[in-house]
Amino acid sequence: MHKFQVATYRHLTPGAKGTGRIDTLVKTKSPQIIQQSFAITEQELRATHTLYPIAQKLMRGGVYLPNRQSMTCSRRNCAYWRHCEQEWGGEVPET
């Protein structure tokens, strides 16, 4: 998901290079920082050109798809979870 976000920045920001780095702190006997660098490919950039117009069309039509992968998607965080389950099926997690 982080690559899609960086591809979006690359698409929207003039002069952006489309590269990124993830720094992960690993708790071991002696803590370490693991660095992972990446560059956005043309295919990943193309995904933003394809998916955003589809999302725009749906939103203009009043269709809002749930994002069950979101960290904030839960019954505790969303007052509309019952409606979401009725309309889209599946189960919204408790927390």
Domain map (residue ranges) of the chain: 2-62, 65-95
How confident is residue 64, by pLDDT bands cut at 50, 70 and 90?
A: confident
pTM of the predicted protein model: 0.68
Rounded Cα distance between 73 and 42, Å, is 31
Average pLDDT, the chain: 92
Position 26 scores a pLDDT of: 95
pLDDT of 79 strictly over 70: yes
CB-based contacts of 24, cutoff 8 Å, min separation 6: 33, 34, 35, 36
Position 1 scores a pLDDT of: 67
pLDDT of 2 strictly over 90: no
Position 65 scores a pLDDT of: 87
Which tokens sit at 54? 């589809």
